[in-house]
């Protein structure tokens, strides 16, 4: 314990000295499995207090990236510095400064929620008083205080995930890694977990999560790296990415005859709008569609073409994924992620 205390003190000193804006910095991070490149020379920097998402389909290399950042896997080449510690040279220090929430439960369901946390705290060298205080604090945070004495096997799936998040936070990590935090949970429970993660974000916890749920990335993440075939295809805030992905589309619906639609199309093109005929009307792509709508309606009116409805669609993260990879995330095989869970967790918390 004394040895643990000295080590903690040394690390805390180093952590407090580490003031960089970025808590995670990866350079040319690469992982090859028997000649197959799962992650190819990834560069990324994660800011303190940021929620950073690794978004991509099944097999894209998200978990492998996260496992390298968290020292579970050794990279084939490249480097990662987490909270000032080099993942290759100082893996123990990295592990002490991070929390992990795995895809598959690693809880002992025959123990109570309290005991699961208590064991974790002991493993991290927390003393009795500190452990007791933090256990109460994290259980309250995930609203499981009333369940602390109950066996985990009596918890619902969502409660187990919340307990895992609490456990990941117990030793006050600088960065919390979450591998597909809501995989396999129903929509309502997923939203519930998002609420807790938002609370953590408000408390300033830096989080890195993998997800293949577009909505999850959109709702939670300050920045997102879109990963496909082991490479980062795009990186930015969800809004930035959506803006880059293309323009908003306005649909002018008209029940007028085909000839009228062609007349409207010609009138819009004359005004330099990027317009196309679609079934039931005309689609116009524009940068600032809100402002363009009056001009579009005037063009229709000038040709005496009645517009029955106006609809506007802004690009989604799905459109972003499509524009960078040429296919939709759903078609790219996201549904297979569930099947991969067992294999990913079986790799365990080992430095390979
Ligand atoms: P994701 O998390 O995006 O679904 P992974 O990082 O788990 O993707 O996997 C990326 C690629 O690396 C996949 O093709 C996967 O089959 C392969 N892979 C992952 N782990 C191993 C391993 N231990 N041995 C061989 N191939 C692996």
Instruction: Convert the pLDDT of each residue in 214-236 to its tens digit.
Output: 899 999 999 999 999 999 999 99
Residue 245: is its pLDDT beyond 50?
yes
Helix (H) or strand (E) holding 189: helix 187-202
Say if ligand 1 is within 6 A of residue 60 CB. yes
Give the residue extent of every domain in the chain.
2-97+173-243+328-346, 247-313
Determine if residue 280 is left, alpha or beta; phi over 0 gives left, psi from -120 to 50 gives alpha, anything else beta.
left
Say if ligand 1 is within 6 A of residue 344 CB. yes
Say if ligand 1 is within 6 A of residue 212 CB. no
Residue of the nearest CA to atom 22 in ligand 1? 33
pLDDT tier, 263 (very low <50, low <70, confident <90, very high otherwise) = confident
User: Residue 194 and residue 209: Cα distance in Å, rounded?
Assistant: 12
What's the angle, vertex CA 61, arms to CA 107 and CA 231, rounded to 5? 150
How confident is the prediction for the chain on average, in pLDDT?
85
The pLDDT assigned to 60 comes to: 92
The pLDDT assigned to 346 comes to: 38
Question: 59 with 337: CB under 8 angstroms?
Answer: no
**One fold for 2-97+173-243+328-346 and 247-313:** no
Residue 345: is its pLDDT beyond 50?
no
Q: Which CATH number fits domain 247-313: 3.40.640.10, 1.10.3720.10, 3.30.950.10, 3.30.70.260?
A: 3.30.70.260
279-297 per-residue burial string, b: 16 or more CB within 10 A, e: under 16: eebbbbebeebeebbeebe
* Dihedral, 109, 112, 118, 119 alpha carbons, nearest 10: -30
- 2-97+173-243+328-346 fold: Rossmann fold (3.40.50)
Residue 196: is its pLDDT beyond 60?
yes
| Test site for ligand 1: of 59, 104, 333, most ligand atoms within 8 A of the Cβ | 59
Say if ligand 1 is within 6 A of residue 79 CB. no
Question: Distance from the CA of 64 to the center of ligand 1, in angstroms?
Answer: 6
Q: Determine the 3-state secondary structure of 205 from DSSP.
A: coil
| Test site for ligand 1: of 34, 42, 61, 336, most ligand atoms within 8 A of the Cβ | 61
The atom of ligand 1 lying closest to the CA of 66 is 6
- Among 78, 61, 89, 100, CA closest to 26: 78
pTM of the model: 0.78
Question: Distance from the CA of 351 to the center of ligand 1, in angstroms?
Answer: 16
User: Residue 199 and residue 191: Cα distance in Å, rounded?
Assistant: 13
Say if ligand 1 is within 6 A of residue 62 CB. yes
| Test site for ligand 1: of 30, 38, 340, most ligand atoms within 8 A of the Cβ | 38
Determine if residue 333 is left, alpha or beta; phi over 0 gives left, psi from -120 to 50 gives alpha, anything else beta.
left
The pLDDT assigned to 274 comes to: 85
86 vs 279, residue with greater confidence: 86
Cα 45 off chain centre by: 14
pLDDT tens profile 94-126 = 999 999 998 888 899 999 999 999 999 999 999
Residue 344: is its pLDDT beyond 80?
no
């Amino acid at each position: 314990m004394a040895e643990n205390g000295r080590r903690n003190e040394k690390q805390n000193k180093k952590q407090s000295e580490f003031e960089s804006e970025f808590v995670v910095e990866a350079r040319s991070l690469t992982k090859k499995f028997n000649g197959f490149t799962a992650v190819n020379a990834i560069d990324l920097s994660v800011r303190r207090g940021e929620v950073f998402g690794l978004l991509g389909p099944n097999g894209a290399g998200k978990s492998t990236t996260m496992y390298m950042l968290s020292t579970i896997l050794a990279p084939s080449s490249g480097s990662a510095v987490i909270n000032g510690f080099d993942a290759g040279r100082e893996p123990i220090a990295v592990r002490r400064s991070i929390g992990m929430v795995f895809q598959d439960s690693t809880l002992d369901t025959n123990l109570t929620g309290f005991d699961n946390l208590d064991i974790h705290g002991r493993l991290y060298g927390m003393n009795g008083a500190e452990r007791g205080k933090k256990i109460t604090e994290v259980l309250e945070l995930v609203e499981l205080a009333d369940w602390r004495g109950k066996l985990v096997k009596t918890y619902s799936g969502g409660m187990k995930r919340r307990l895992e998040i609490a456990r990941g936070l117990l030793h006050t990590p600088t960065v919390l890694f979450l591998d597909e935090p809501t995989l396999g949970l129903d929509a309502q429970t997923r939203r519930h977990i998002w609420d807790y993660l938002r609370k953590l974000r408000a408390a300033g916890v830096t989080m890195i999560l993998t997800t293949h749920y577009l909505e999850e990335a959109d709702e939670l993440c300050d920045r997102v790296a879109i990963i496909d075939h082991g490479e980062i295809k795009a990186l930015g805030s969800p809004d930035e990415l959506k803006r880059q992905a293309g323009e908003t589309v306005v649909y002018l619906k008209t029940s007028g005859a085909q000839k009228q639609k062609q007349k409207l199309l010609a009138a819009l093109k004359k005004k330099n709008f990027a317009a196309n005929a679609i079934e039931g009307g005309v689609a116009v792509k524009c940068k600032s569609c809100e402002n363009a709508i009056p001009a579009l309606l005037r063009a229709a009116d000038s040709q005496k073409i009645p517009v029955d409805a106006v609809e506007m669609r802004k690009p989604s993260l799905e459109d972003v994924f499509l524009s960078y990879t040429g296919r939709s995330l759903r078609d790219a095989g996201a549904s297979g992620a569930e099947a991969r869970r067992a294999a990913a967790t079986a790799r365990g918390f080992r430095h390979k």
